[in-house]
Each structure stands twice: as C-alpha cells, then as structure tokens.
Structure 1
Amino acid sequence: MLMRDATRNTLYLIEDYGKTLKEVQENVHFYQWGDAAWDDDDRRVYFTTADPNPNSDIEDETVNLFVSDYPYTGGSNEFDKNLGDHDGFLLVGRYIFAQRTDDGVIGLHVSDRRKPFKRAMIPVPDEHRNYLVIRINDVQALVIVEHAGGFYNLYLSDESGVYYSLSLRDLVIDSDYNIDLELIEGLNGTLVANQYTREDTSDLASSIRTVISLDNGGFWEGLLLPDEDINGDTINCEPPNCSLHLHMDFTNYARLGVYSTESALGIIVAHGTIGIELSINPDLFISRDGGVTWEQTLAGSWGVNLADHGGLMVAAKDYHQEQSTVLKYSCNEGYSWRDFTFSSTDITIYGVVTEPGQHTTIIVSY
C-alpha cells in the first residue's frame, strides 16, 4: 500500500504490513494508482509534486506530472515534458485529465491511452473556472465546465477525449459541487439531470426542470407524464409546458433523490412533482423501463430500498416529515403496496435496509 505523510508531504510504500516504510518521493501534492487495463503494471503510481519553497508566491504550486514504476526505488520519470506546471490531474481509465493555468487562462488537457497531453477543445468561449469529470466509459468522457458568471455546462467528448460538444446548458449545481445529475445504475448511457430554464445566466430566480438522456448526453428531453395520479384520476397537464420534475442532490427536498441499482435493471425510484417547473412537496414516482415512462406510486416523501432484483420494495415515511408505526412493501414493482405494522407507538425511522437471502430480512434503524 501507499501512504502519504501530510506533515512532510512524502509518499511511502508499505510492503510488509507496516514494519518498514520505503520512500517513493518527497513533496508529493497528489497521487493515484495506475490502471492495469491501460498501464503495464497496476502498481504504477502517478503523482505531482508541490513547490517546497516557503517564499513562493503561489502556495502549493504543483509542478510536472511524474510516474514511478514498481519496484519503487525512489526514482521517477516525467510523464509528459510538454505539460509542465499544472493545477492538478485526475486519472480515470484510459484518460488522464490535467487542469493548467496559462497567463491567467484555465484550460483542460487530456492524455488518451497514456499518450502525450493535448488541449481539450471546448466550443463555448466563456471563461473557464473549473472542470469536473463526471462520467467515463470506454470511449467517451462527460465533463462539467464551470464558466465565469457562475453557470455550469455539460460537455460530451469524442473518442479521443479531446474534442467536445455541448451536451446540456446551465446544469443545476451549487458552490459545494452538489450536482443535479444522476447516472442510472446498470443502464449505460442513461442520465437524468436538472437544468435552469433561464435565458440569462445572471437570473438567479429562474425555475428548474428535469430532462433525461438515453444516449450518454447526446440528446435530452423532458420526462413523460404519468397517465393518472395515485387516485386513478387523469392528469390534466399538457407537455411540453408541463412535465415530471425530479429532486436530486442540490434540489433534494426529500430523503430520497433518484435511486437505481444494477441488481434491479430498469427500475428507477425518485421523488418529483408535476407541473411547469420543479416545486416542493414531492410524491414518489417509479419507472420500470429505465426512465422512458413514469407512474406515481406513493403520495408524500419516503425512504425506499429494493431487494430480490426489484421483486421486493420497502418504503418508510420520510423522517423529516412525520413518525410512523408502519412500513409499506410491494412485491410487484410498486403497482400496489401493503402495510406492515412493526410498532405500537410512533417511531422516527432513519433508515430501511434489505438483506436478500433465502428469506429477505428488513432492518429498521430508528
């Protein structure tokens, strides 16, 4: 294993259960293990070093990206001499992303399959402030760019990771990088996101709508409305001015945002509202076909868990709203629900965990 001494910023290798430490490199700012699929050895280490000069005008200024191969003898090689000083890097699969500032201008640089870095070509000319790599598959990358003015756009790369096209404008995200973007588990290429509907990015009071992409961000559209509400009444709401909108990380007014799992392919459970824009007081909705169609399954806010590949769904009232003596469960993917009374007095339920086995166990945390 590797260990970084934060007081001295020295990277050490531990090979004998902690008995001895072998120094790999001093002044290490950040490091990552290699990837056996794209490196000769998954024990290869990539790292940047920090400027040890206490009189430097730039605190913790990083310098070149280095790589050290196993066994670690204290030596290392510069990965790409043309990259030079940079602000940081991220290694994911076949790509290495590096952010570099040149004369006050921030740019993104990409190494594909461990080849030399190239400057990423991102079409929107607005000034860049930061980059967030959100998704990587074997051939494409999704990158969020923070632009000057406080708005964020999502961009989709080509197969080299260098050339980008605009995927989604004005993604909903806050200063702590809570992002309203969900990758649906088990369905490669299906994404759900919230975006601001404002014409002017300086309009902070604009509304929020939910959109879905089934092709990894190439095309986005609004969510289809359910035909009926939970009472069986027809929903009088005409698209495209009216659609289903979902709560996510930043806009999460309920306990559960958008929930999916690889063990229950196609099932998505989420809290949302119907109307022109996202609003508070959501209900629980379910999709059984990967987000193509939706149905309102329970009124109000709930904590939900799935077991037995979606064959069992368990729901408990949101502890932010009220106490309860009852759990709800469904054995038909939320088409109908039954009650299970587990307490004679009202209890605040903080979590519901399902443990599948020969007999499914439901654990209530309160």
Structure 2
Amino acid sequence: MAHTVLVLTVLCLQIFVTFQSLVREPSPALDQRTRTFTKRQVRSASVKPARYSRDVSNHRDVPLCITSVTVTSEEYAKLQSNTHYFAFTTDDGTSITLAWIGDGTGIILALTMYSIPFSIWNFGSSSRLYRSEDYGKTFIEISSTIRNSFIRKDLGIMAGPGNSKRVILAADISEGTEKGGKIYTSVDAAEDFTAIDLPFHLGMKIIFHPTNENYLLTKSIDSSLWVSQDFGMNWKRIHESVYTVSWGPGNVIFFATHPNGTVDINGRGELHLKRTEDFGKTFHIVLYNVYNFGHSEHFLFASVVTDRGHPRKVFVSTDEGDTWGEAQLPPVTHDQFYSVLASDEEMIFMHVDEPGDNGFGTMYTSGDTGVLYSKSLENHWFDDKRGVSDFTNITSLRGVYITNILTKDGSIQSVITYDAGGKWSSLNPPSGSSCNTDECNLHIYGEYSMLQFPNVPMPPLTDVNAVGIIIAHGYVGNAIANVNPDVYVSDDGGYTWIKSLEGPHHYAILDSGGLIVAVEASSDKTVHTLKFSTDEGQCWTVYPFANTSFMFSGLASEPGTKSMNVSIWGYTVAEDSSTTWVTYTVDFKELLTKECDDSDYVTWLAHSTNTERDTDGCILGYKENFQRLKKSSVCINGRDYVIDKVGQACKCTKSDYLCDFGYYRQENSTDCVREPDLKADDIEFCLQGNEETLKTDGYRKIPGDKCEEGFVPSRKEYFKALCKSTASDKSYDSATTAMIIICTLLMTVIMILGFVMILRKYICGNRTFVYRYSALQQNADDRCITDGLDNVSAEPRGPYHDDSDEDLIE
C-alpha cells in the first residue's frame, strides 16, 4: 500500500508539469484607413503539386490580351481634366500621415510633420493639418482649428471606426510643464475641434469602442487605466498598474494588472486578468498568474505561469473568461514558440515552431472552442525573430489561404488551401510558362518575403468586395528566387493565374474589382505614369499623369475598393535641396461613364474544377454562384454595388472533415489514421475545467463547413469529472495546497476501499500555445510594429475581421 501511495503522489504531481511557451511577435497587418509616408533618399515540403483542369465555360470571358497600350488622345483629355494636383506648404517636413474619416464621405485628413533630429522637447518641430472633402483632389489647411498645436507623431490621427466621423488628435505637451496632456476631438469629420485638457498624459493610442461612439479607453504614462463615456470630455481612472487592456463585447473591459501595485516587467507572471462590466465600479478576477493576454471577437487568450521556474501555458475562453480550456497541441521547449496566424468566430490557425532556430514549424487548425487542434501543414515558413510569415487570407472567398513553406534544401515554395487548411497544394503556373526544372509552379511573395527581398514593394492584395481577385508579386520556377518579381493576377481565387505586369509594381483595386490601377516601382523611386486595367489585369493602359517625374512615396485609395479615385503621393526636390509634398489624384468617373446593367454580369461558380461532377464547386460543404462583371464590360459597378450570390449545401464527404485530435491524414489520402503514440481508444482532455472523454472515428467537421447528410462519422464528447486547472489557482502556494488536498482525499478513498485506482495519462498536460497580436501602420520605410503576448503592448488590440485586411490577429 505504501508503494501505491507513492505512485499516486507522483502521478498527481505530474498533472501540473508544464512546458514553457516562448512568444514571438506577429506578422504585420496592413492598416488601410491610416497611412503614413516618409520622405526617402534615392537610394522539405510535404506538399505535392496539384493540377486542376479548368472548364472554359466557367470563365467569364476568353482573355483579350496581355499587353500595355498608351491612352488615346480622347482618353488622355478626359483623364487630364480629372487629374488633380496639390502641393503642400514647403516647410511641411519629412513625413505625412493620411486618414480616411467615415466610409464613403470622401473626407481625408493629412497631417504633415517636421522634426529636427535629436532636438530637445521637439524644439523647432512643427506640424500642419489639412482636410479634403473630395477624396484628396483639393486640401485646405485647418491647423487653426487645433490652435496650430504640434501633434504627437507617435499617436498621429486617431480615427473612429466605420461611419463614426470621429477624430482625435493628441497635442505634444512637455510632461514636466503640464499636469496632463491635451487632445482635440471632432464629431463632424474634422469640421470643428474641441480642445480638452486631460488629467493625465497619454501613454498609448486611445482605443475606440467598436460599436459605441462615445466610449473611449486608454492608459496614462504611469500605467493607470482611464475610461471616458462622453467621447473624451470627462475621464475616470478605474485602475492602476495596468499592463495591457482591451475592449470586450458590450461594456466589458479586460485588463491585466499586478496585485502588488507594481509595474515591474519581471512580475508579469503574477498578473491578474480582470474584467469589468460597469466601467470600473466592480471588478472580477477571471484568471491568476497571467503573463499576458489577448482578445478577438470570439476568443480570449491568456499566457499563464503555472509554477515558478516552469514554462508558461496558454488558456482559451469562449465565454469572456468565465471558463477556460487549455489548447491541445504538441509540447514545445523554451526555445520554441506558438503563433496565432488568423482567428475568426469559427476557428484558429496556429503555428507551432520546430525545435532549434530553423525558421519553420507546423501549422494547426482548431475546432470552434479553440482548444482541440489538428495538423494542417508541415514546414511552414516563419520568422521567429520578427514574428512575420507569408500567411495570407484571401478574404473574397471562404476558406482560401496562401502561405509559404521551407523545403529540406532551404528553398521557399508557395502553397494554397481552398478548404481552410484541410488540404494544401502548389500553385499552378500561368498558362504558357516555361521552366528549366522538372517542377514548375507559381510562388508568391508575402509579408515575410518583403523583408527578405527588398525588390518586392507590396504583399498580395485581395478584398471582400472583389470576388476571386488576387493580385500578387510572384516568380515561376521550383522556388522563390531573389530576382525582380512580376505581378500575377488570379480571377478565380487562386486556381489559375496570368502574368499581368512585368517587374514590381504598387497596385490598388477600385470599383469592387471593376478597375485595377498600378504604378511601376522603379529603381530610382521616381514616377510620372499610371497604369489601369478594366479587365482584371489582362490589358493595361498607360496614362502619363504628371509632366515631370517626382519621388514616389505611396499609392492610396479609400479602404473597401468602392472608390473610383486613386492618389499618387510623393515629393519633389528643388535645386536648394528643399522638398515639397505633392499628390496627384485621378478620378476615373469621366472615363468610365456607363453604369453596369444586368447584361454586364455573368453567373460564376466559385471553386469549379470539373463541371461534369455533381460535387463541382463544393468547398466547405457549400456551392456558391456569384454574379460577376464580364471582363469585356467597361462600366461602373458603383458605390451601392452589392455582391449577388446564391448558395446551396452539398452532401458531406471526407474532405469536409479535419482529422480529429490524436489523428492525422496520410499523404495523398483523405483517410484519418490514429497517431502512433496514442494507444487508448478513448481520449481524455481538460476543457473549461471539466475532464472530457472523446470518442471519435478520427474526423471532426471543419469549422464553418455547411455540408449535410452523406458521410457522417461518429464523434461524441462526454463529461467525466472536474479537472482542476492551474490557470484558475490564485497563487503557487494555493495551487500546491489544493493539489495536496485532492491527492490526500484520493489516496484515503483508495485505502478505505482497498483497491488501486488506475489513472490515465492526462493528455491535456503539456500542450500549450501562445497568442500574439500586432497591427502594422504602413510606413514607407519600416514595415513592422512588434508587440506580442510575452512583450506587453501599450497599443490596443482590435478584433480580427474576416472580411478585411485592416486588422489581423497574429
């Protein structure tokens, strides 16, 4: 019996053994609403290729041409009369920030900044504020409305979400000369501003509430948490010693704070994650021993130190912190990391790093609880130092993602999935491509590639309003090469591609995909011509919009691809080396005057690869027919254009399922087989404080899959017992005490009953992940802002939007 007691004690203690999670920083996400330009000086893959036959009947038109022509004299005259030039004041300095205020308003704010390097208290620095009501064709300086104050460059223009028309600017005031800071607020798209003296100095950007226009949240420089319920007029301090903060649903605020009232960076593993639902009147501690946390629309993530000297675990909640579950993933060592690549209301894409500094790992996809995961892709290429990958969500079609893998020989190859990570395949090369190698595929340069290859000016571009269209820089061969890439376009969500433009370009989508514009990325950074296409990149027309070349800084258009205007931003350099910010805004409304009617559209079945099969177009259990613009139609979709689609459910097949936890899919097979080290028929795991037993045939439906009937495997989860999670323990001592009590009671029962209880191995032990988030402000020279779960961020965490590339959970 003594031997039995010893064995049980050891087993009980093993339940609390953890493995450390090393959090890295996320890959950057483009912020389309606010753009910053700065003046620059002239200066082994486990995936096999999958070929898809395409039925010409599903194409909207036969390709017309793949060439470029110069505008006719008539076209030139129309475009010239609708090309608008504006030069800003000559002392406007070295950077300019743009922000679109409200959707479809045409209002843009431009904040120019002039800073003297190494100056004290911004001596000699200045800023000017401009406003446009016509999509950037003309600007009026409105610096007087903010009393010609110098605006803080690090905070820039803080614009409210959607149609709020609300704006906040933070004045730069020396911390030693004023009791607090000063902000200027506007509720009418910057027609008028109200000056507000703050009782504190801003320590981070102000966080707008996603739905209530009056609610604001921020931190002061002394790490106090402040909230306003009247759009900044009055502020209330609701807590001190706050590390990170995020809006939750409704009036919920999440924040992490130290119980001893300190802000020592070394004490993060002792943080309390708190929730308030009444703006600080009452608080609830939802998690103890927190290192950091993050929140998306559906998932609340937290990194937890379960014991001093031991690695961290990460827990997930889908009910705003009332209950928690631990992610079921392979264990990692201290030199590995986890990264959330994408998240929505249905699932999570998770990257798990391989041991050692290899630059790759394995991608997993979750179920709808964010706890159970299945292997999706091996050798996923990821930069653990900067937290960047080439993972791209093709937002216009469900379940389509593109990323890159690192092969055994060190080459980088692109792969695509059409079913949310269920199956990955190589990208088909454009028709007529010739390669000198046996394997010939298209390879796409993403965010990580842009850091590796400076000749790639833009990542892939896709938008929910432009169905099926993907514009990307790529290279045709057996792997990505360090050469000048060309621009490739797909009109069907990545199944087929055309080589659209020779060499690197900047590009933008207008009029819901009816118009594409591009500017060549020249080696000397000078531009004077614009290219545009009305047939999704098959034919291009060259328009010389400027008489002389100028230094190019950026191409800007209103987020959402609804606009018919595009602006080319840059600056000119005079003989005395002085520089002036300039912008050319081109409006295509006079060139494309015809409004599209029914005859300009054609029905298109997404994901169609074989029209002779009943299951043709069935992806994620659903067929979708879209009304799309014909390539031969030269007309305007218009701002009121709404995508017309009709869908129907498909019968379930094995392709509608991921392999369940403990199972994997063999290469070139749809069958899920049991992991070799999983011997028990039943799988036990800890889910939100309950020990669950999983009985499964090895399949679980892909989150968001809409199939019906057909192949329906057996899968059931049973509640077995309570499993105390260290994530909810108040401290290390209380956790140990609770464990001793549980073990003592357990052993007492065993001695009284006179038999030995067989303890199963807890699969929920030793399986962790780390949540990471970042939002990139697009800069001309710098392309990443680094804040992760183990690197406490002062920046707000916005929700992940599946229909936009403005925000990304990373």
The TM-score, its normalising length taken from structure 1, stands at 0.84
Aligned partner of residue 188 in structure 1, secondary structure: coil
Name whichever structure is richer in strand by fraction. 1
Q: Which of 136, 144, 166 in structure 1 is aligned with 2:375?
A: 166
CA-CA distance at 1:346 after TM superposition: 3.6
Indicate how the Cα distance of structure 1 residues 339 and 125 shifts in structure 2: closer, same or farther if over 3 A, else same.
same
User: CA offset at residue 3 of structure 1?
Assistant: 2.4
State the one-letter code of the partner of 2:510.
A
The correspondence of residues 94-109 of structure 1 with structure 2, limited to 5 A, is: 94-102=298-306, 103-109=309-315
Per mean C-alpha deviation after superposition, the further-off stretch among 155-164 and 117-126 is 117-126
Tell me, in whole angstroms, the C-alpha distance in 2 between the residues paired with 1:207 and 1:337. 33
Match of 1:38 in 2: none
Contact 1:226–1:235 (8 Å) recurs in 2: no
Q: What is residue 285 of structure 2 aligned with on the other side?
A: 78
1: CA distance, partners of 2:540 / 2:284: 61
Moved more, 352-361 or 258-267: 352-361
> What is the alpha-carbon root mean square deviation over aligned residues?
2.7
Q: Which residue of 1 aligns with 2:434?
A: 235
Alignment-derived partner of residue 14 in structure 1: 228
CA shift in 2, pair 1:169/1:108, >3 Å: farther
1:92-131 equivalences under 5 Å are 92-102=296-306, 103-114=309-320, 115-123=322-330, 129-131=336-338
Decide which of 375, 382, 402 is 1:192's aligned counterpart: 402
- Greater shift after overlay, 287-296 or 20-29? 20-29
* Alpha-carbon shift at residue 271 of structure 1 (Å): 0.4
Aligned residues: 343
Partner of 1:65: 273
Spell out the pairing of 1:248-263 with structure 2 (5 A cutoff).
248-252=446-450, 253-263=455-465
**1:303 Cα offset (Å):** 0.7
- 1:250 is paired with a residue whose SS is helix
Counterpart of 1:182, as a letter, is T
- Structure 1 position 126, deviation (Å): 5.6
The structure that is helix-richer by fraction is 2
Assess, with a 3 A threshold, how the Cα gap between structure 1 residues 216 and 237 changes in structure 2: closer, same or farther: farther
Question: Distance in 1 between the 2:231 and 2:293 partners?
Answer: 29
User: Structure 1 residues 179 and 160, CA, compared in 2 at 3 Å: closer, same or farther?
Assistant: same
- The structural deviation recorded for 1:361 is 3.0
Counterpart CA distance in 1 for 2:562 and 2:484 is: 38
Letter in structure 1 aligned against 2:218? M
Greater RCO (Cα-Cα under 8 Å, separation 6 or more): 2
Find the residue that maps to 1:257 and give its secondary structure.
coil
Q: What is the SS of the residue equivalent to 1:337?
A: strand
Matching residue within 377, 386, 391 for 1:176: 386
Q: Is the 8 A contact 2:465 2:561 kept in 1?
A: no
Q: Secondary structure at the match of 1:313?
A: strand
CA offsets per residue over residues 254-304 of structure 1, 9 Å max, x none? 112211112211100000101111012211100000111111111101111
* 1:181 CA drift (Å): 0.8
Mapped partners of 2:235, 2:276: distance in 1:
16
Task: Give the number of the structure whose alpha-carbon radius of gyration is greater.
Answer: 2
Structure 2 residue aligned with 1:361: 565
Determine if the alignment matches structure 1 residue 310 to structure 2 residue 516. no
The code of the aligned residue for 2:440 comes to C
Give 1:40-59 correspondences, 5 Å limit: 42-50=250-258, 52=260, 58-59=266-267
Q: CA distance change for structure 1 residues 54 and 348 in 2, over 3 Å: closer, same or farther?
A: closer
The equivalent position to 2:292 in structure 1, one of 82, 88, 100, is: 88
Would you say 1:225 and 2:423 are equivalent positions? no
Q: 1:117 to 1:129 in 2, by over 3 A?
A: farther
Q: What SS class does the counterpart of residue 189 from structure 1 fall into?
A: coil
Post-superposition offset of 1:154: 2.0
Q: Would the aligned equivalents of 1:282 and 1:301 in 2 still touch at CA under 8 Å?
A: yes
Is 1:319–1:348's contact at 8 Å kept on the other side of the alignment? no
In structure 1, distance between residues paired with 2:525 and 2:336: 42
Identity %: 26
Unaligned 5+ residue runs, structure 2?
A: 1-215, 571-810
Cα pair 2:242 2:263 within 8 Å, conserved: no
CA apart distance, 1:59: 4.0
Query: Are residues 11 and 324 of structure 1, via their aligned partners in 2, closer, same or farther at CA, if it must alter by over 3 Å?
Result: closer
